[in-house]
Amino acid sequence: MEDTETFSLGNCVPRDGGTLPDAKIVFKTYGALDADRDNAILFPTHYGGTHVNNEWLIGPGKALDTNRWFVIVPNMLGNGVSSSPSNVGPPHGGASFPHVTVYDNVALQHRLLTERFAITHLPLVIGFSMGAQQSFQWAVSYPDMVERCIPICGSARTAPHNLVFLEGVTGALRSDPAWNKGLYTEQPTAGMRLMGRVWAGWGASQTFYREHLYRQLGFTSLEEYIVREWEDGFTQGDANDLLAMAWTWQHADVGATPGLDGDFERALGRITARTIVMPCVTDLYFPPEDSAIEVKHIAGAELRTIPSTWGHQAGGGADPAAAAFIEAAIRESLAR
Amino acid sequence: MEDTETFSLGNCVPRDGGTLPDAKIVFKTYGALDADRDNAILFPTHYGGTHVNNEWLIGPGKALDTNRWFVIVPNMLGNGVSSSPSNVGPPHGGASFPHVTVYDNVALQHRLLTERFAITHLPLVIGFSMGAQQSFQWAVSYPDMVERCIPICGSARTAPHNLVFLEGVTGALRSDPAWNKGLYTEQPTAGMRLMGRVWAGWGASQTFYREHLYRQLGFTSLEEYIVREWEDGFTQGDANDLLAMAWTWQHADVGATPGLDGDFERALGRITARTIVMPCVTDLYFPPEDSAIEVKHIAGAELRTIPSTWGHQAGGGADPAAAAFIEAAIRESLAR
């Protein structure tokens, strides 16, 4: 993709086994790294997104102000830009792509920062949704490196209900006979569209629909919103990519960091970053209750709930009021 | 089915057209009708349920005490017991079953009560989920007849988000090639199982899963719960029945009562029944916000929210504490 750089990591072995051959993280940077390499902000991507989807917060004068900060956006493994089922050849691509965890993403991003940029200090790690999951993992894996952490509409581990929600949407994709257990020759678009239709109920809130807020996005009817925003959206990618990222999501758990014996609370206890956990009050799959539990186990962490009726998507900038709320939190955090 | 009676209505024309030939409501009664026919309680069924699923509230000494009350449970059209795609022959059965509304169900139930029993006064109409939708419609269609109304985990019209949720679960069923636009020769069980898997995330709450409350139902793992409770559950019925009832649900709206010009608030304004609207605080598709809006437009109505973490299913008696809460409300209402 345009203006991106590629960091090659060679053959990698994910935490849970398998082979990621000639692994690549495709990333984009914004702003300039200071001479002392002390002004970097890391902003990982979310499910189905690329670095482009993060750019609403990045730029001169924006919350992640590139006049001061050097923002690095690494594309998540599986998103079709970094190493993914869709761009890795046989025998490790497509349906044979290895299971990659949030932990793996963060470990490889750490290599990017240290080996490519010699960065050893991150004033901020921030992310939305699965980007928030990577942010939590960063603060657990490298507590001495992460000064601030702002996970937005995401969790340090995937809650059981969130896992069930993902069973539904991935089951929808897999229901298409054209999927053929991942050995398709053409994209299983009927399954991808159904995935979008099922997701439509989850990605926005009951109030968003009751108040017809999709009209603010330019859609004239509920059905048009479902088709154009959700069904069409899920046909933009690759089916195996979508399933690979969903596997990563379903298995997210900072407690599974090697050496922690699966101890979730102990993992959160390792975080020293000044953390602002930002769920959205109407998020149906990352509900604020999970964030409240996490905050209890992170020293000094603040729970700052986004008061939006837009549901999960509020964390991605779709709701202008929520976007302003998020931007204010970032500015405040970076000013301290 | 055992101990049920059948009321035959002849050929009927649903509000939205089509033909329901030789229409039948299969119902069951509990207790005895007084000589003055003044002690009847109507308790319509919910989606995927039959009269059997209502029996937890009915019996000697129970909230609907059959020592005093005569309880009539009419099976909803489409549920496989009353007239349904699965039991109506060509040319109006199966995929050709007409579109039946909540309004139609109530109109035919009214014939059952007046023609079969000469009942003109109902001390109480009560129902759960789609049964609640029928209860609201009863109070709107026949305000002079309904003295009390207790809709549990349901709404007077299907909210847009609820409609989107149903798009997802019905899309899951239809995704099975064996469904064949309803012209199947064997049940499309893969689609019905997927419908159950998608529904699993909606039918219980985030907290229900976080706290592993399915263990209280005897399941030992999350996956076992999804498979046995939800996937298996949706294979018990008939695919066209499930889709017919979903159509009924998606089009529920007391405002669409003939003569009201689609005016939802005016419809609610017709209700004279002493009404207790009982949403569950964690219901994901009949959220309490919708109930609060309805209560504002019903004279003297009370909003009594069930404080359960079990989500929608709390209204069906699955959670013992919620069941006790509901029973108390019924007893209190009937004592006034």
What tens digit of pLDDT does each residue of B315-336 get?
A: 999 999 999 999 999 999 999 8
| Residues B285 and B147 occupy one common structural domain | yes
Residues 278-317 of B with CB under 8 A from A: 284-285, 287, 289-290
Pick among B193, B206, B209 to test the A interface (most A CBs inside 10 A): B206
| Host domain of residue A21 | 5-159+251-335
- Determine, for residues B168 and A222 on separate chains, whether the beta-carbon distance falls below 8 Å: no
Mean pLDDT of A5-9: 98
Whether residue B1 is predicted with pLDDT greater than 70 in this model: the reply is no
H or E element at residue B126: strand B124-128
Percent of chain A exceeding pLDDT 70 equals: 100
| Residues B257 and B133 occupy one common structural domain | yes
Any A CB within 8 A of B221 CB: no
Let me know: does A147 contact A124? Beta carbons within 8 Å: yes
| Residues B273 and B154 occupy one common structural domain | yes
What residues of B are annotated to the active site? 129, 283, 312
pLDDT score of B54: 98
Of the residues A201, A216, A245, the one at which a domain ends: A245
Query: Which residues of chain B does A287 touch, with a Cβ-Cβ cutoff of 8 Å?
Result: 206
Q: How far is B284 from chain A (nearest CA, A)?
A: 8
Any A CB within 8 A of B222 CB: yes
Here the ipTM equals: 0.97
- Determine, for residues B210 and A177 on separate chains, whether the beta-carbon distance falls below 8 Å: no
Q: Write out pLDDT tens, residues B17-31.
A: 999 999 999 999 999
pLDDT score of B120: 97
Q: What are phi and psi of A110, to 5 degrees?
A: -65, -40
CA distance A94 to B124: 60
Of the residues B208, B223, B245, the one at which a domain ends: B245
pLDDT score of A96: 97
CA distance B166 to B198: 10
Question: Per residue in B67-95, is it b (16+ CB within 10 Å) or e — as a string?
Answer: eebbbbbbbbbbbbbbbbbbbbeeebbbe
Residues 8-47 of B with CB under 8 A from A: none
In one-letter notation, the amino acid at residue A208 is F
Let me know: does A309 contact A208? Beta carbons within 8 Å: yes
pLDDT score of A336: 87
Whether residue B171 is predicted with pLDDT greater than 70 in this model: the reply is yes
Count of domains for chain B: 2
Mean pLDDT of B158-187: 98
Whether residue A160 is predicted with pLDDT greater than 70 in this model: the reply is yes
Report the residue from A167, A171, A289 with minimal CB separation from B206: A289
Q: Write out pLDDT tens, residues A117-132.
A: 999 999 999 999 999 9
In one-letter notation, the amino acid at residue A273 is A
Whether residue B2 is predicted with pLDDT greater than 80 in this model: the reply is no
| Residues A11 and A132 occupy one common structural domain | yes
Chain centroid to Cα A149, Å, comes to 14
Sequence-separated (6 or more) residues with CB below 8 Å from residue A249: A47, A130, A133, A158, A162, A166
pLDDT score of B58: 98
CATH number at residue A172: 1.10.1740
| Residues A235 and A136 occupy one common structural domain | no
Mean pLDDT of B213-229: 97
Let me know: does B82 contact B74? Beta carbons within 8 Å: yes
Whether residue A41 is predicted with pLDDT greater than 70 in this model: the reply is yes
Whether residue B149 is predicted with pLDDT greater than 70 in this model: the reply is yes
| Residues B152 and B263 occupy one common structural domain | yes
Size of interface A-B (CB pairs under 8 A): 112
How far apart, in Å, do the first and last CA atoms of chain A sit? 35
User: What string of DSSP letters covers B298-322?
Assistant: STT-EE--B--SSGGGGGGT-SHHH
pLDDT score of A216: 96
| Residues B54 and B97 occupy one common structural domain | yes
Whether residue B258 is predicted with pLDDT greater than 90 in this model: the reply is yes
| Residues A286 and A168 occupy one common structural domain | no
Q: For residue B5, what pLDDT band results from cuts at 50, 70 and 90?
A: very high
pLDDT score of B312: 98
pLDDT score of A1: 60
CA angle B327–B332–B336, rounded 5-degree value: 150
| Residues A37 and A14 occupy one common structural domain | yes
Query: Which residues of chain A does B188 touch, with a Cβ-Cβ cutoff of 8 Å?
Result: none
Mean pLDDT of B57-80: 98
Average pLDDT, chain B: 97
Whether residue A73 is predicted with pLDDT greater than 70 in this model: the reply is yes
Any A CB within 8 A of B181 CB: no
Q: Write out pLDDT tens, residues A172-195.
A: 999 999 999 999 999 999 999 999
Percent of chain A exceeding pLDDT 90 equals: 99
| Residues B319 and B213 occupy one common structural domain | no
In one-letter notation, the amino acid at residue A161 is H
CA distance A2 to A313: 26
Pairing of strands B70-74, A64-65: unpaired
Sequence-separated (6 or more) residues with CB below 8 Å from residue A180: A188
| Residues B103 and B176 occupy one common structural domain | no
Of the residues A183, A217, A245, the one at which a domain ends: A245
| Residues A220 and A173 occupy one common structural domain | yes
CA angle A60–A61–A66, rounded 5-degree value: 40
